[in-house]
């Protein structure tokens, strides 16, 4: 039997009538919900539209930084030493990147990267990733033309140093974020950096800017810094130092050139050095600005200060005789000696011949406190506060701990350590009329501040005459002479300390100034571990001084103060300074 079919329209359920109150309840609920929606819509769109606006802006609006251009670094004449050049960085949102294998290989080839490294970065579980930074605009344009999906670019800056390794230690360098890491770049980072600006933009879901809404803060560009350096003098110092390092097969070296009148640093060179434009294989030894961060025992370059103090205290006069025979002197259980027995010498000849015995006797005629006060007033034992990163102050122990033998050896530069910049600064006392002015890294557009008087003008002039004698025949540094100019200076040769004891290694130095009649420049030279058969300051460092000083004086147009005639060296070897 077939089941009897029932049409839906004739279903018995449909004949049942609902209670009237249920119909009205449903209608009221629907109307209430409709009114609530209308009220909410009116509230959000008419009275509290900030909410929807904020939500919309949160999805599409972004505040992005506008990089400030880093200030330039120039020399005293305006020649550019460091400048920021525009570059671009390639970045991506990994989840948006959809590169075919061939596209990934093409991108890797353009970026000079391994394709596996590119895929690893693009596959990272991050919202943002740099693929490669600081590309040239030309290469970035080639990548942009390929229109790889999800690959974006960002404008940045990279620092460029036209002088390369010649000024590396003074200028330093910046990091990937264009912030100073070494040298002047770090010391003056706040002035050079400026302040980044910001602007509000609308971006699409792929991070592309589709509309520039407004500028919030314009960027504050970095300030330019004019250094006291003279590019031509710097190149002279660097090239002659490099030549000396190679000729003497030395480990390292440094040269400082100061303007004796203003205290400005016209040149500061060190070797070994590095190229700040290419630092892929940079090591720590190359980074060290040895003239400011390495201290050493200065040797005989300190003898003029001992003589100056003895003159200042009235212990001796310029021509006071001092007996240095028999060339040896015992103090307590220790014995000091001269390389050659000189016999009777005047104070001036003690400096000219560089006698350890004469210097020690001068020192022992004074109290340790008097010597310590002099060394301290010259700037030894504490950094010069140039604001340069890593500057050290050397070592100057308190006077109360000195033993007689230590006081005697400090007279000729042992038992005390200094930096090359400190030596150059201290020799201002002789190049000037006994006073010291602060050293400046930046160009000075006004007169230098008043100097600190260390010695009387008369004492300074007398020691200046002694230093002239040291450069003449019969002195320790005839190789420091310069045709057409009177030169004054002092050699130094000291054993290096390794493991707490003196090793058979040397530091050769020379500090001097010219023209001696009216000093304009001070040049200090240090050669570390010369190993080509010569190690005395008169043989190794004095010739560097002569070349740098001669070129610098002519570059600055300083008039000669002596007849232009052949230099007198004498056929005999120069007197060796004592060690």
pLDDT, tens digit, 9 for 90 and up, residues 440-496: 999 998 887 888 999 999 999 999 999 999 999 999 999 999 999 999 999 999 988
Candidate list 295, 300, 354, 355, residue with the active-site label? 300
What distance in Å separates the CA atoms of residue 103 and residue 89, rounded to the nearest whole number?
18
Give pTM, 2 decimals.
0.83
Where does the pLDDT of residue 252 fall: very low under 50, low under 70, confident under 90, or very high at 90 and above? very high
Q: Tokens 């970065």 belong to which residue?
A: 121
**In terms of Cα–Cα distance, which of 385, 395, 423 is closest to 257?**
423
**What's the rounded Cα separation, in Å, for the pair 135 and 193?**
21
Dihedral sign (CA 52, 53, 57, 63): negative
pLDDT tens sequence across 386-416: 888 889 999 999 999 999 999 999 999 999 9
pLDDT confidence of residue 571: 43
Closest CA to 312 of 322, 304, 323: 304
The percent of residues above 70 in pLDDT, for the chain, comes to: 87
pLDDT tens digits for 96-108?
787 888 888 888 8
CA distance linking residue 126 with residue 389, whole number of Å:
37
Stretch 132-141: mean pLDDT: 88
Catalytic status, residue 193 = no
Q: Bridge-partner residues for 154, per DSSP?
A: 89
Q: Domains of the chain, with CATH numbers?
A: 57-94+150-227 (3.90.1310.10), 231-555 (3.40.710.10)
The label of the residue with tokens 């200060």 reads: 305
Task: Give the pLDDT score at 407.
Answer: 95
Residue 40's contacts (CB-CB under 8 Å, 6 or more residues apart) are none
Short-list 107, 166, 179, CA closest to 140: 107
The pair of structure tokens assigned to 153 is 């670019």
């Amino acid at each position: 039997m077939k089941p009897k079919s029932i049409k839906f329209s004739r279903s018995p359920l449909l004949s049942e009538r609902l209670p009237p109150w249920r119909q009205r309840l449903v209608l009221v609920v629907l109307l209430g919900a409709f009114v609530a929606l209308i009220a909410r819509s009116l509230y959000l769109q008419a009275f509290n539209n900030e909410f929807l606006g904020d939500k919309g802006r949160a999805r599409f609006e972004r505040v992005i930084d506008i990089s400030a251009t880093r200030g330039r670094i120039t020399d005293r004449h305006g020649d550019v030493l460091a400048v920021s050049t525009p570059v671009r960085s390639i970045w991506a949102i990994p989840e948006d990147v959809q590169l075919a294998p061939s596209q990934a290989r093409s991108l890797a080839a353009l970026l000079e990267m391994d394709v596996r490294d590119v895929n690893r970065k693009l596959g990272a579980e991050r919202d943002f990733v740099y693929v490669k930074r600081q590309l040239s605009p030309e290469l970035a344009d080639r990548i942009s033309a390929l229109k790889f999906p999800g690959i974006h670019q960002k404008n940045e800056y990279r620092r460029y140093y036209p002088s390369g390794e010649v000024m590396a230690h003074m200028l330093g360098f910046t990091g990937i974020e264009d912030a100073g890491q070494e040298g002047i770049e770090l010391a003056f980072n706040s002035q050079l950096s400026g302040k980044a600006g910001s602007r509000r933009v609308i971006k699409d879901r792929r991070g592309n800017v589709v509309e520039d809404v407004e500028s919030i803060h314009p960027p504050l560009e970095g300030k330019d810094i004019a250094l006291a350096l003279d590019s031509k003098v710097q190149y002279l110092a660097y090239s002659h130092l490099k030549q000396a390092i190679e000729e003497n097969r030395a480990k390292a070296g440094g040269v400082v050139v100061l303007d004796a009148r203003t205290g400005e640093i016209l040149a500061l060179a060190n070797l070994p050095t590095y190229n700040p434009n290419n630092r892929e294989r940079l090591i720590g030894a190359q980074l060290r600005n040895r003239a400011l961060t390495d201290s050493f025992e200065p040797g005989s370059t300190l003898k003029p200060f001992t003589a100056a103090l003895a003159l200042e205290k009235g212990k001796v006069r310029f021509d006071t005789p001092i007996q240095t025979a028999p060339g040896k002197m015992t103090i307590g259980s220790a014995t000091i000696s001269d390389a050659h027995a000189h016999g009777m010498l005047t104070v001036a000849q003690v400096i000219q011949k560089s006698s350890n015995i004469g210097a020690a006797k001068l020192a022992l005629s004074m109290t340790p406190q008097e010597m310590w006060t002099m060394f301290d007033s010259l700037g030894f034992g504490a950094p010069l506060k140039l604001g340069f990163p890593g500057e050290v102050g050397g070592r100057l122990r308190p006077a109360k701990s000195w033993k007689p033998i230590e006081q005697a050896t400090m007279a000729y530069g042992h038992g005390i350590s200094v930096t090359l910049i400190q030596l150059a600064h201290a020799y201002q006392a002789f190049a000037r009329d006994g006073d010291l002015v602060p050293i400046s890294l930046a160009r000075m557009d006004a007169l230098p501040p008043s100097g600190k008087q260390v010695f009387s003008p008369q004492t300074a002039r007398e020691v200046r005459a002694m230093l002239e004698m040291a450069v003449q025949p019969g002195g320790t540094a005839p190789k420091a002479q310069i045709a057409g100019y009177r030169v004054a200076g002092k050699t130094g040769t000291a054993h290096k300390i390794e493991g707490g004891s003196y090793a058979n290694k040397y530091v050769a130095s020379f500090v001097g100034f010219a023209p001696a009649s009216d000093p304009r420049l001070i040049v200090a030279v240090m050669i570390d571990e010369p190993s080509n058969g010569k190690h005395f300051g008169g043989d190794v460092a004095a010739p560097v001084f002569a070349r740098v000083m001669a070129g610098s004086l002519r570059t600055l147009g300083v008039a000669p103060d002596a007849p232009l005639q052949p230099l007198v060296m004498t056929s005999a070897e120069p007197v060796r300074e004592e060690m």
